[in-house]
C-alpha cells in the first residue's frame, strides 16, 4: 500500500509520540511515551514506532497582545528557561509563536492602554 507523505507547512508542527523504544534517523534515542515536535517546513516520513497525535498551528501575536502559556510537564521554554508543571507565563514578542511539546496556549491577552483618565 502506497501512503502519501505528509507535508508540514511553515508555522505548523506535528506532535509525535513514540510507541516503542527506537533510534531515529538523527541517532537520537526515543523511549516509548516520549513526545516531540516535527516542525515545518518539511516532509514528514512516517515510522511504525511513531504516532502522530495532532497538528499544531502557530499562534500569531499582534501589537499590544501576548499569549499566556502553561507547562504540561517540566520543560524548557523557547528561551531556554526551566518551567515547572502548571507554571504560566506570557510571551509578548510580536509574530508567530509555535508552542513547545509540553506547552499549551491558555489564552490570548490584550493589553490595557493606561492614560491619565
> 36 falls in which pLDDT band (50, 70, 90)?
very high
DSSP per-residue letters across 21-89:
-EE-TTS-EE-TT-EEEEESSEEE---TTEEEEEEEEPEEE-TTEEEEEEESSSEE-TTS-EE-TT-EE
In this predicted model, what pLDDT tens digit does every residue of 58-71 receive, in sequence order?
999 999 999 999 99
pLDDT of residue 57: 96
pTM for the predicted model, two decimal places? 0.86
Report residue 66 as a C-alpha cell.
501576548
- Mean pLDDT, the chain, whole residue set: 94
Question: Domains of the chain, with CATH numbers?
Answer: 6-57 (2.30.30.550), 59-110 (2.30.30.550)
Amino acid at each position: 500500500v502506497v501512503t502519501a507523505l505528509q507535508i508540514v507547512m511553515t508555522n505548523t508542527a506535528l506532535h509525535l509520540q513514540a510507541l516503542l523504544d527506537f533510534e531515529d534517523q538523527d541517532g537520537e534515542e526515543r523511549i516509548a511515551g516520549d513526545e516531540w515536535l516535527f516542525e515545518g517546513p518539511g516532509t514528514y516520513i512516517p515510522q511504525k514506532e511513531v504516532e502522530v497525535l495532532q497538528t499544531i498551528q502557530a499562534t500569531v501575536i499582534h501589537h499590544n497582545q501576548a499569549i499566556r502559556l502553561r507547562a504540561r510537564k517540566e520543560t524548557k521554554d523557547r528561551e531556554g528557561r526551566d518551567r515547572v508543571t502548571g507554571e504560566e507565563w506570557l510571551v509578548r514578542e510580536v509574530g508567530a509563536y509555535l508552542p513547545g511539546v509540553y506547552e499549551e496556549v491558555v489564552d490570548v491577552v490584550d493589553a490595557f492602554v493606561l492614560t491619565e483618565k
